Homo-oligomer: A and B are copies of this chain.
Amino acid sequence: MAAAEPKPPTGAAAARRLARSCWSAFWDYETPKVIVVKNRRLGIVYRAVQLLILLYFVWYVFIVQKSYQDSETGPESSVITKVKGITLSEHKVWDVEEYVKPPEGGSVFSIITRIEVTPFQTLGTCAESMRVSNATCDSDEDCVAGQLDMLGNGLRTGRCVPYYHGSSKTCEVSAWCPVEDGASVSQFLGTMAPNFTILIKNSIHYPKFQFSKGNIENRKGGYLKHCTFHEVSDLYCPIFKLGYIVEQAGENFTELAHTGGVIGVIINWDCDLDLSASECNPKYSFRRLDPKHIPASSGYNFRFAKYYKINGSITRTLIKAYGIRIDVIVHGQAGKFSLIPTIINLATALTSIGVGSFLCDWILLTFMNKNKVYSHKKFDKMVDAPERGAGPGLCASEPSQQDCVLTDARGLAQL
């Protein structure tokens, strides 16, 4: 940035002059010289390409993709659930306390629809289940005392004993007796289950934008006591019938109630926070989450027990529960106008509009090269043309001195 001097005088004076010239040059304004090609066809191509790029950015990048927004995914979320309803098995009435596990009303809970009960289990010895590998036996020699099968029910005693029913025999085990496979009784609780109502309270918070919202809304007259969810008319009444959830997930209720299964209730909060808060609404979707196409691992069940002490000895009722597990999954993305992405995308747009001139330069080149069409006829008027003539000076032969200036400063050229 130092001015080069053609004939350097004495050192001090030269340095002073250099600094002054530098400083002066710093305040100069530079703009590239442009050449104006007065060819209508080329101009149309140029503007058309620019227009296409502009349209792409305005429409797709800014309007559709909202790239001027800063975004945040995964809001802080809290889910509170409450199931209501009663159902019947053959012998008894079941209330919420009995068929919802765990009872605390979190985001994941199971509604038991079928149970296999093994009552009166005590610690003792009894025949092993026939389903356990190598459990069947003919004599005591088939059973190794002290053997512990990881998928069995207990520690083998070494004896071969008659099975619970039928005439076969299995190895005796020291376990909770009788074993489940030998003595369990099935009960179906699912008859009324489609009518159970599930209240899902969800509140979210986008910390970056300090935005909070809930999925529940109060209206007059005990609205929340009587409403059920409807996507359009009752979006803010998050009370779902279990049958509705299962149906929306595309499953058959009776089948699901027998084998058990996991249904996801996905709440999506996609919010454009440039709009008013009332435009930010939850969207519910429902999907089966366990791999139902894989027989070996399809369905959902778990075991729990109730322990009793009778005459000092402990008895338990083991319950294998098949049920519909509901996983409430909350997702979302919020966007709000922000300077940085806007500027990055604007700069990209400006850079991309430059693609138009690459194309046109290439056309100019191709015209001249391939077709030898570079002429005054093809390019109606090329302002710099007099340069090519041996006129006395640039533009000297042009009638309007103005036109020449136009070739110099980029902005001026559009005059």
Contact = CB atoms under 8 A, between A and B. Distances in A.
Copies of this polypeptide in the complex: 3
Interface residues of A, number: 166
Contact of A47 (B26, B154, B305): B26
8 contacts: A2-B415, A30-B413, A35-B409, A86-B155, A96-B303, A101-B104, A218-B293, A361-B410
B6 A29 contact: no
Nearest to A291: B214
A46 to B, nearest CB: 5
Interface stretch (A164-172, A248-256, A274-282, A345-353): A345-353
Given A175-B93, A176-B95, A305-B97, A348 B344 contact: yes
A347 B352 contact: yes
A415 B25 contact: yes
Interface in A58-108: 60-61, 65, 67, 72-74, 76-78, 80, 82, 84-86, 88, 92-93, 95-98, 101-106, 108
Report the 7 A-B pairs with minimum CB-CB distance, sorted nearest first.
A361-B411, A27-B43, A78-B289, A308-B309, A347-B351, A224-B296, A387-B394
Contact of A404 (B1, B28, B34, B388): B388
A221 to B, nearest CB: 11
Interface in A370-415: 372, 374, 384, 386-396, 400-402, 404-405, 408-415
Pick from A46, A294, A395, A414 the residue with the most CB of B within 10 Å.
A414
